[in-house]
Amino acid sequence: MEYVIDKNITVRFAHENESGIILQFIKELAEFEKLPDHVTATQELIHKSIFINKRAEVLFCEYKHEIVGFALFFHNYSTFLAKPGLYLEDLYVKPEFRSRGIGMSFFNVLSKIARERNCGRIEWWCLNWNKKAIDFYLKLGAKAMDEWIVYRVTEDKFDTLEKKTEPALPA
């Protein structure tokens, strides 16, 4: 599916033969976030997880027919709303194409997808030092969820978790 935003901007879903381009954007994003050594993704893993196992979806934004940004998202679920949501894992626009409506175009399309799929919300994280992104999100009407703390358990801790048991509380 393709969404024509204007004569210069089109947002479309990534094609199965574009795993290498997705990986390229992931690496560029990691460089921007000062985390290049954290990328362990490979073209093969991306292909399998996105196009075979359907764990996530990728949108590309083309500016004058050149791919200039990507957004990777997947569904989550709100128990309070009893509806699915869209979780935006990554959104990245090449620096030389920023301030041209690319980010807004992604959110325009994500909003349409969320509405079509009866989602109750779109959520994402933003690094606290990325002031330009924060300002942009606030202009969209997004609300910072600063009363929540994000926790993470990584794969290297799964064995430990699986072996742990919590003692029963006294009656």
Cα dist. 76→51, 79, 88, 122 in Å? 18, 10, 10, 9
Beta strand segments in 19-82, E: 57-63, 66-78
Q: What distance lies between CA 82 and its chain's CA centroid?
A: 22
Torsion of CA 90, 76, 59, 26, to 10 degrees: 30
Q: Which of 63, 77, 92, 137 is catalytic?
A: 137
The residues near 50 (Cβ < 8 Å, ≥ 6 apart) are 14, 19, 22, 56, 57, 58
Q: Is 3 a known active-site residue?
A: no
Residues belonging to the active site = 137
